[in-house]
Amino acid sequence: AQKITQTQPGMFVQEKEAVTLDCTYDTSDPSYGLFWYKQPSSGEMIFLIYQGSYDQQNATEGRYSLNFQKARKSANLVISASQLGDSAMYFCAMREGRIGNQFYFGTGTSLTVIP
Amino acid sequence: DVKVTQSSRYLVKRTGEKVFLECVQDMDHENMFWYRQDPGLGLRLIYFSYDVKMKEKGDIPEGYSVSREKKERFSLILESASTNQTSMYLCASRTGGMNTEAFFGQGTRLTVV
């Protein structure tokens, strides 16, 4: 079974509007961490935001926030006030609690911001 | 400044060649990873290492091997390159904490002809 599912291969958003990128995950480990990364066309992977499974509040980092719904096993990324520079691939990732564990990545969502 | 450096940005190799992809990190991280990125498939883990000389298979280890003789260096080896190994290869490293992100290299675009 897929550990991380991103069902939106491509998304479009108007500049200055908000957009939500979906991510659902699958784990039986009670301790896990969820991460979002941005990959612009230049190829580097940029870490955006982290949410721990025991965190009570949704994570926020500037214009990025994570809508964490534990019961639904979803960790959607919300980008507010989209900018042209937000056009990129976005990947959701998960780390389970076991030592030395790998990061599981989703297939990514390509976001295009329209002027 | 945190750094993960991959030895080549672009590589072109012939079918059957032995290929080495090198990755070096300067952050004293215990864990290092090799991923392969293909359109529509996301990042798939090939191998990872949680300590010197320790390695574990990821989801797609077939056709690959790895070496970690020093903490800062993690090498990916394609024993006999094939055209279906044409891809973008990403190296990453991180500490062992639950909430610490992985830091990535700039990627190596490998083409096998």
pLDDT band at A60 (very low <50, low <70, confident <90, very high): very high
Can you give the pLDDT at residue A98?
67
Is residue B98 within 8 angstroms of chain A, CB to CB? Answer: yes
Phi-psi region of A24 (alpha: psi -120 to 50; beta: other; left: phi over 0): beta
pLDDT band at A101 (very low <50, low <70, confident <90, very high): low
| A85 backbone dihedrals φ, ψ, rounded to 5° | -70, -5
Closest of B93, B84, B101, B81 to residue B21, by C-alpha: B81
Q: Within 13 Å, how many C-alpha atoms sit on residue B66's CB side?
A: 27
Across the range B72-98, mean pLDDT stands at 94
Closest residue, chain A, to B41 (C-alpha) = A107
Q: Which residues 61-100 of chain A have a CB within 8 Å of chain B?
A: 91, 93, 95, 97, 99-100
How are the residues of chain B apportioned to helix, strand and coil, as percentages rounded to the nearest 5? 5, 55, 40
A100/B96 Cβ within 8 A: yes
Task: Confirm if B15 and B57 have CB atoms less than 8 A apart.
Answer: no
Give contacts of A43 with chain B, Cβ < 8 Å: 88, 106-107
Q: What are the tokens at B35?
A: 């991923």
Give contacts of A102 with chain B, Cβ < 8 Å: 33, 45, 48, 56, 58
Burial pattern B59-68, b for ≥16 Cβ within 10 A else e, equals eeeeebebbb
Q: What angle do CA B27, B33, B37 make, to 5 degrees?
A: 125
Q: Which residues 12-71 of chain B have a CB within 8 Å of chain A?
A: 30-31, 33, 35, 40-45, 48, 50-51, 54, 56, 58
Please write the tens of the pLDDT for every residue from A71-100: 999 999 999 999 999 999 999 999 987 655
Q: Least CB-CB distance to B50: which of A52, A93, A100? A: A100
Across the range A66-73, mean pLDDT stands at 96
